[in-house]
Amino acid sequence: MNYDTIKVRFQSPVCFIQFFRPQANNTINDLLVEECLSVLSQYEDTATIIVLEGLPEVFCFGADFEATINNNGKVKGPEPLYDLWLKLAQGPFISIAYVRGKANAGGIGFVAACDIVIADETAQFSLSELLFGLLPACVMPFLVRRIGFQKAQYLTLMTRPVPVHQAHAWGLVDAYDATGDTLLRTHLLRLRYLSKQGIVRYKHLMRSLYDLSQSKSLAIEANKEVFSDTENLQRIERYVKTGLFPWEH
């Protein structure tokens, strides 16, 4: 199938999904979420491994602010995106995020939802939402599960990028090296030995131990609240039109 926002290839038993919105900095819009969910539904019974990757300079930079402004804030809302992250976290496959370049805001959601995170030395990670009066509401349940409350809080409040070595020390990244490609291949060679049934049983156990769906309603309501705030939407619109952050004149 042909997709507008992603590129997909299946090399049994691995399904590769590449975010491909180079003109939009690999930001997240409704169609990207829809297409990713479609691919996961298509391959969840046949793939044992799902690999998410972006472009060399940017993995995923978060929400598409232009789409938010062009639709007067009326997008489908955060629930489909939360469901996509739930699928990556709890689906019957091993999910891997292969990060090069920038991962910001919702991009961190994809990273934190995956079972394994591999990166190269260019990778950097940030949560910029509070700069615009927004919250990483849907990201937080996945991020806290991965790195703990205080590190997730620090990343949220400081809003600045952290380099890959810091992200590795915090547990956000599992392994990294200079290029990442060889590291990814090494992991895939090992993970191919795992049976589909073994993976299904393991993911079922982990879902029972840490049920991310319990946080869904709170996260979605908090997200809707900040994206319906007129002042926040004005900050976003100004940034889209001028490139200026809220405190810049």
Active site residues: 64, 129
Report, in angstroms and rounded to the nearest whole number, the Rg of the chain calculated over CA atoms.
17
Name the helix (H) or strand (E) containing 25: none
Where are the strands (E) in the chain, listed by range?
6-11, 14-19, 49-53, 58-60, 94-99, 102-104, 116-120, 124-126, 162-163, 175-177
- Please name the amino acid found at residue 225: E
Pairing of strands 124-126, 162-163: antiparallel
Half-sphere exposure of 246 (CA within 13 A, CB side): 13
**CA 15 vs CA 40, 88, 139, 162: distances in Å:** 9, 13, 24, 29
